């Protein structure tokens, strides 16, 4: 008797062939396989359809992990502290997101496990690795030192589209006999992808030829991304047999969203490592980390509650998928902003302790100067600043200031002229400690070589500008997330009552307007500074999400959940 192997690359087929009175299972991974559902018989177009999956396949999840790993690598090397960094982040995310979308639109309809598909998936994973290598030098401007990155991305984008065009073309051979209308639609899609691939490859030469003339020529990619998306989705929408409504596209979008939210969990662990590791847990570190954690949890819960549970209509399905790009961009920026704000709160507490120590030196009864300076040294040492992360010059400056302080009076005494030197020293001390703290947290302004020559007050002003920018984009993307939640509620239609759906969407729009209104605080420096150094800035978005969630729960008894298994929405 032949025993079946414990592990094998061969898989059994549903069909068994009798051989000599016994039935043996035959089967292995085919070289290539038809996308037509084998369980449905007949040869007419009405009884033939493409194979469908209810959930994502393992290789699709593996591809999603490459996407997120690519995103994590880019996030680790690009801090969002100014408009240029924000543009670079959005641009690179668009490159990998729209590539992921095109691969997903093919996989949810035509991908079947075969040697050919596994080879194609390996090439697509290699392209993601190539994106990661070029992403390290991606900026909003094409320069001499990074032109190779844009040329590499052009080759990778062109190669990925050629591969997709080839995959679509191969599937035409399987469906042209029984699904002629679908074959014509797939032919249009393959042709469009082949044409855009030629444009991507042509831009390889344009980057080199137009260097210094059109530094933003890479934005043409986004025009091509939009054309590809609308052509593929539009043709699929109007062509019978290759529509997206009955696919697991919503599952793929939901899983990618879940993985992106998981990036927020990784951000939480980074915050814990940076804030709790030096001196252990405190009540304020617990409050700050709880705020970020609650935001991540509520984001997942609200999105899950708004996800469609039944089949969407043609147009609702297209809108749902396309809105996920701005949603994912806003989600990533929101999580990144939450991390920066939480670290800023921790830095603000440490600077408050430093200022209190400086003021203690001049309070009655005044301690001896050597005792006061020792307290300053101890306070700074307790911060456990990691000077190796770009703040070695700040460490030298702090040491020099502390060494020179005993030569001058620490507190004003009458008309002592030398106290002005001490006041300047203390200002430089606070500025350099601020720079060292932010650098140790990985928050460094992009000031280039001039950053190392700034005085203490100038350093403080520089970081205030950075935090002001983070404050603005945090609440802008937070309001955008609420607006998108309102759109998702309208598209998913998980309630029978149109009135309840309208009220829920309107409530989220109002909450989004409220979050956008918080941006106006930047007009008053004292107000925005008080808000940014208070945990309330983290819990503002938390309470907004919670309000929308409670409102959703409150209207649930009014209307019952309703599925639309046959009737399409929109």
- Count the neighbouring beta carbons within 10 Å of the beta carbon of residue 566: 7
> Per-residue pLDDT for 57 more than 80?
yes
Peptide bond before residue 393 is cis, with ω within 30 degrees of 0: no
Q: pLDDT category, 205, cuts 50, 70, 90?
A: confident
Q: In the chain, what are the domain boundaries?
A: 48-246, 347-444
Q: Residue 217 and residue 67: Cα distance in Å, rounded?
A: 25
Phi and psi at 549, nearest 5°, equal -65, -45
Bridge partners of 16, per DSSP, are 25
**Percentage of the chain modeled with pLDDT above 90:** 21
Q: How far is residue 478 from each of residues 94, 298, 331, 334, 508, measured CA to CA in Å? A: 19, 13, 8, 6, 11
What distance in Å separates the CA atoms of residue 552 and residue 530, rounded to the nearest whole number?
32
Across 101-140, the runs of DSSP E, i.e. the strands, are none
Distance of CA 296 to the CA centre of its chain: 13
Structure tokens belonging to residue 121 = 């998936």
Q: What is the mean pLDDT of residues 177-185?
A: 86
Separation between Cα atoms, residue 328 and residue 569, nearest integer Å: 24
Residues 71-86: tens digit of each pLDDT: 888 877 777 777 888 8
Distances (CA, A) of 94 to 17, 146, 204: 50, 18, 18
Helix/strand/coil for 137:
coil
100-114, 152-166, 206-220, range with the lowest pLDDT: 206-220
Mean pLDDT throughout 165-172? 93
Choose between 419 and 165: higher pLDDT: 165
3-state class (DSSP) for residue 565: coil
Does pLDDT of 215 surpass 80? no
pLDDT digits (tens, 9 = 90+) for 345-376: 888 888 888 888 888 777 777 778 788 888 88
Do 341 and 474 touch, CB atoms closer than 8 A?
Answer: yes
Average pLDDT, the chain: 79
Confidence at 44, pLDDT banded by 50, 70, 90: very low
Task: Examine the pLDDT at 22 and tell me if it is beyond 50.
Answer: no
Average pLDDT over residues 458-473: 77
**Over 90: is that where the pLDDT of 99 sits?**
yes
pLDDT digits 0-9 by tens, 118-143: 999 999 999 998 998 888 888 888 87
Report the relative pairing of strands 16-19 and 22-25 from DSSP bridges: antiparallel
Q: What is the mean pLDDT of residues 282-290?
A: 83
CB 322 within 8 A of CB 229: yes
Measure the CA–CA gap between 472 and 231, rounded to whole angstroms.
35
Model pLDDT, residue 158:
94
List of residues 6+ apart from 20 with CB closer than 8 A: none
Which residue is it, tokens 């010059």?
393
**Residue pLDDT, tens place only, 403-424:** 887 777 777 665 455 555 667 7
Please report the pLDDT score of residue 136 as a whole number.
81
Q: 40 pLDDT exceeds 70? A: no
562 three-state secondary structure: coil
- Tell me the C-alpha distance between 158 and 196, whole Å: 7
* Total Cβ atoms within 10 A of residue 251: 16
What's the gap between Cα 536 and its chain centre?
24
User: What pLDDT is stored for residue 316 in this prediction?
Assistant: 87
Q: Could you read off the pLDDT of 469-486 as tens digits, one per residue? A: 888 889 999 999 999 999
pLDDT reading at 452 higher than 60 = no
| Residue 466: C-alpha distances to residues 90, 426, 460, 510 (Å) | 18, 22, 10, 28
Peptide bond just before 365 cis, omega within 30 deg:
yes
Strand ranges in 416-535 using DSSP code E only, listed in sequence order: none
- CA 182-234-501 angle, 5° bins: 120
Mean pLDDT of all residues in 268-296 = 80
pTM (2 decimals)? Answer: 0.83
Band the pLDDT of 27: cuts 50, 70, 90: low
The pLDDT of residue 226 is above 80: yes
Q: Which residue has the higher pLDDT, 364 or 200?
A: 200
| Residue 270: burial class (beta carbons within 10 Å; 0-12, 13-18, 19+) | middle
């Amino acid at each position: 008797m032949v025993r079946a192997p414990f592990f094998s690359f061969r898989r059994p087929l549903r069909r068994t062939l009798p051989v000599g009175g016994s039935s043996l299972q035959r089967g292995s991974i085919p070289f290539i396989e038809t996308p037509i559902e084998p369980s449905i018989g007949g040869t007419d177009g009405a009884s033939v359809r493409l194979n469908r999956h209810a959930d994502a396949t393992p290789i699709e999840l593996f591809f999603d992990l490459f996407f997120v790993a690519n995103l994590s690598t880019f996030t680790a090397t690009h801090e969002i502290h100014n408009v240029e960094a924000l543009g670079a982040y959005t641009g690179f995310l668009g490159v990998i997101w729209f590539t992921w979308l095109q691969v997903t639109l093919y996989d949810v309809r035509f991908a079947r496990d075969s040697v050919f598909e596994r080879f194609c998936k390996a090439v697509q994973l290699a392209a993601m690795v190539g994106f990661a290598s070029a992403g390290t030098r991606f900026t909003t401007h094409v320069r001499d030192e990074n032109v190779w990155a844009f040329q590499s991305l052009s080759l990778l984008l062109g190669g990925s589209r050629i591969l997709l065009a080839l995959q679509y073309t191969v599937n035409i051979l399987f469906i042209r006999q029984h699904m002629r209308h679908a074959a014509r639609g797939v032919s249009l899609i393959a042709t469009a992808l082949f044409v855009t691939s030629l444009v991507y490859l042509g831009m390889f030469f344009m980057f080199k030829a137009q260097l210094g003339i059109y530094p933003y020529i890479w934005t043409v990619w986004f025009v091509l991304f939009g054309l590809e998306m609308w052509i593929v989705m539009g043709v699929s929408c109007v062509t019978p047999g290759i529509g997206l409504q009955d696919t697991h596209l919503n599952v793929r979008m939901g899983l990618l969203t879940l993985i992106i939210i998981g990036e927020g969990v990784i951000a939480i662990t980074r915050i814990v490592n940076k804030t709790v590791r030096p001196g252990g847990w405190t009540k304020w570190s617990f409050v700050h980390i709880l705020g970020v954690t609650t935001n991540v949890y509520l984001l997942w819960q609200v999105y899950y509650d708004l996800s469609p549970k039944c089949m969407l209509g043609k147009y609702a399905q297209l809108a749902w998928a396309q809105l996920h790009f701005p949603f994912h961009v806003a989600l990533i920026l929101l999580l990144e902003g939450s991390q920066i704000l939480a670290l800023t709160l921790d830095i603000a507490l440490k600077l408050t302790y430093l200022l209190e120590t400086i003021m203690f030196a001049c309070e009655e009864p005044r301690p001896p100067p050597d005792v006061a300076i020792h307290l300053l040294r101890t306070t700074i040492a307790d911060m456990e600043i990691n000077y190796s992360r770009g703040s070695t010059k700040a460490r030298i400056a702090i040491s020099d200031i502390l060494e020179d302080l005993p030569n001058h009076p620490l507190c004003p005494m009458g008309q002592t002229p030398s106290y002005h030197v001490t006041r300047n020293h203390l200002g430089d001390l606070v500025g350099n400690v601020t720079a060292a703290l932010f650098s140790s947290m990985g928050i460094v302004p992009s000031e280039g070589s001039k950053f190392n020559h700034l005085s203490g007050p100038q350093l403080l002003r520089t970081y205030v500008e950075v935090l002001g920018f983070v404050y603005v984009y945090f609440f802008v993307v937070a309001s955008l997330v609420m607006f998108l939640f309102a759109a998702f509620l309208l598209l998913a239609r998980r309630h029978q009552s149109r009135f309840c759906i309208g009220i829920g969407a309107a409530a989220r729009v109002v909450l989004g307007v409220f979050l956008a209104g918080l941006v106006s605080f930047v007009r008053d420096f004292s107000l925005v500074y008080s808000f940014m150094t208070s945990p309330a800035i983290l819990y503002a978005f938390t309470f907004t999400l919670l309000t929308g969630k409670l409102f959703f729960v409150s209207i649930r008894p009014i209307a019952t959940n309703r599925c639309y298994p046959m009737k399409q929405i929109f």
